[in-house]
C-alpha cells in the first residue's frame, strides 16, 4: 500500500504544479513507483509541465464517471517506466468529481504505486476538498511573500481538520539576495509563523521556467540549484536526512571577490 501526498497552497501561482511534477519525477528517479494526479479540473497544467499533453485520451472525470477504466486513463511517462499521470479534464469544472470518487480512485492507485502525488488547485472550495479527500499526507507550498504565507496559514488550518497528519512545508522561489537585504521574508520568519516542519527550500531559478516550457521536469537536469533542492526534498520524503542547501550568496562571497578582481 502506497502513500498519497497532496501538494497544496491556497494561493495560486506559488508553484504547486512545478513542485508536484518535480517531487514526482525525483521519486521516480529514486526508483519508486509514482502516480501523479492533476485535480485542477478545467485548468489542467501538470500534463503540460510533464510534456505529456499530446498523450491524453481519457481523464480524471472519465474515470470518476465510469466511462473508462482507471488503467486506460493513466499516461505512462515517456522517460520513466515507473512514473504515471492521471490528467484532469479541461472541459468540465471542479464539481464534476466528488470527494468520495477521489478517495476511491486514490485508494485504487495506492495499491499499485508507492507514491500518489495529488496536485491540488488553488482555492479552498470543492477542488481543494477533492484533492485532500484521499490524501494521507500533505505538502504545503508557499513563497516568501506575505500573501502566500497568509494563505498557507489558512490552508494549514483547514488541513488540521482533515485526516492528513501535520503538513510539511516547502518554501519556493526564495531569492537569497532579497532575503539578505531584508526585502523578503526569510525562512525563519515563515517557520515561526506557520509552526510546521520544513521539508525544503527551493531557490528562485530561471531554469524552472525553461524546463517547464520544454516539458522536462527540472530535476532531470543537474545544472540548477532548484533541481538539487527538489531532489533533496524527494530524499527527505524517503526518510533520508539531507541538510538544507546553503543560500547561494553565502557561498558566493568568494566568487564576488573573484569577480571584483576580474577572475571571472
Partner 1 sequence: MNTTKSKVVIKGTKDGLVFFMDDTCSFQELIEDLREKIEHSHQQILSGPLIRISIKLGKRYCSPEQQEELTQIIRQKGNLVIHMIDSDVILKEEADKQNETPGFIIQTNTVRSGQVLEFDGDILLLGDVNPGGTVKSTGSVYVLGNLRGAAQAGLNGNRNAVIASASMRPTQLRIADVISRSGEEWSDQNGATEFAYLENDQMVVAKMNLLHRLRPDLGEKKA
One residue of 57, 95, 166, 195 binding partner 1 per CB under 8 A? 195
Sign of CA dihedral 30, 171, 128, 46: negative
The Cα–Cα gap between 40 and 88 comes to 6
Q: Determine contact, residues 161/128, Cβ cutoff 8 Å.
A: no
The footprint of partner 1 on this chain (CB under 8 A) covers a number of residues equal to 12
Cα dist. 141→33, 73, 155, 203, 236 in Å? 23, 27, 10, 13, 16
Nearer to partner 1, 27 or 149 (CB): 149
Nearer to partner 1, 114 or 151 (CB): 151
Our finding on whether 31 is near partner 1 (CB under 8 A) is: no
**Binding span for partner 1 by CB under 8 A among 66-74, 128-136, 149-157, 238-246:** 149-157
Cβ count within 10 A of residue 108: 15
One residue of 79, 92, 150, 236 binding partner 1 per CB under 8 A? 150
The Cα–Cα gap between 119 and 102 comes to 12
The Cα–Cα gap between 39 and 105 comes to 12
Nearer to partner 1, 178 or 193 (CB): 193
Nearer to partner 1, 24 or 167 (CB): 167
One residue of 193, 198, 220, 238 binding partner 1 per CB under 8 A? 193
Nearer to partner 1, 73 or 156 (CB): 156
What's the min distance (Å) between Cβ of 166 and partner 1? 12
One residue of 36, 133, 141, 156 binding partner 1 per CB under 8 A? 156
Our finding on whether 142 is near partner 1 (CB under 8 A) is: no
**Binding span for partner 1 by CB under 8 A among 24-32, 40-48, 186-194, 232-240:** 186-194
The Cα–Cα gap between 130 and 134 comes to 8
**Binding span for partner 1 by CB under 8 A among 103-111, 166-174, 175-183, 187-195:** 187-195
Q: What is the dihedral of CA 57, 111, 16, 194, to 10 degrees?
A: 160
State the DSSP code for 94.
Answer: G
Nearer to partner 1, 102 or 194 (CB): 194
The Cα–Cα gap between 137 and 152 comes to 15
Applying CB under 8 A, which residues contact partner 1?
150-151, 153-154, 156-158, 160, 192-195
Amino acid at each position: 500500500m502506497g502513500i498519497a501526498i497532496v501538494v497544496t497552497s491556497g494561493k495560486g501561482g506559488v508553484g504547486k504544479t512545478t513542485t508536484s511534477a518535480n517531487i514526482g519525477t525525483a521519486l521516480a528517479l529514486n526508483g519508486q513507483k509514482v502516480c501523479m494526479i492533476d485535480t485542477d479540473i478545467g485548468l489542467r497544467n501538470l500534463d503540460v509541465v510533464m510534456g505529456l499533453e499530446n498523450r491524453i485520451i481519457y481523464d480524471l472525470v472519465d474515470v470518476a464517471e465510469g466511462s473508462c477504466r482507471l488503467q486506460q486513463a493513466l499516461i505512462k511517462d515517456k522517460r520513466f517506466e515507473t512514473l504515471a499521470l492521471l490528467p484532469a479534464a479541461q472541459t468540465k469544472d471542479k464539481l464534476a468529481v466528488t470527494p468520495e470518487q477521489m478517495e476511491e480512485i486514490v485508494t485504487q492507485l495506492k495499491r499499485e504505486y508507492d507514491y500518489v502525488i495529488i496536485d491540488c488547485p488553488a482555492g479552498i472550495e470543492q477542488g481543494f476538498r477533492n484533492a485532500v479527500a484521499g490524501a494521507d499526507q500533505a505538502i504545503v507550498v508557499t513563497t516568501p511573500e506575505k500573501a502566500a504565507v497568509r494563505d498557507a496559514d489558512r490552508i494549514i488550518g483547514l488541513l488540521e481538520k482533515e485526516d492528513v497528519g501535520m503538513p510539511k512545508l516547502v518554501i519556493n522561489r526564495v531569492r537569497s539576495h532579497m532575503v539578505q537585504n531584508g526585502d523578503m521574508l526569510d525562512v525563519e520568519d515563515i517557520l515561526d509563523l506557520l509552526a510546521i516542519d520544513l521539508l525544503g527550500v527551493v531557490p528562485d531559478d530561471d531554469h524552472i521556467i525553461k524546463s517547464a516550457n520544454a516539458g522536462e521536469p527540472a530535476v532531470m537536469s543537474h545544472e540548477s540549484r532548484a533541481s538539487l533542492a527538489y531532489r533533496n526534498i524527494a530524499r527527505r520524503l524517503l526518510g533520508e536526512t539531507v541538510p538544507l542547501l546553503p543560500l547561494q550568496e553565502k557561498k558566493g562571497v568568494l566568487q564576488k571577490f573573484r569577480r571584483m578582481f576580474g577572475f571571472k
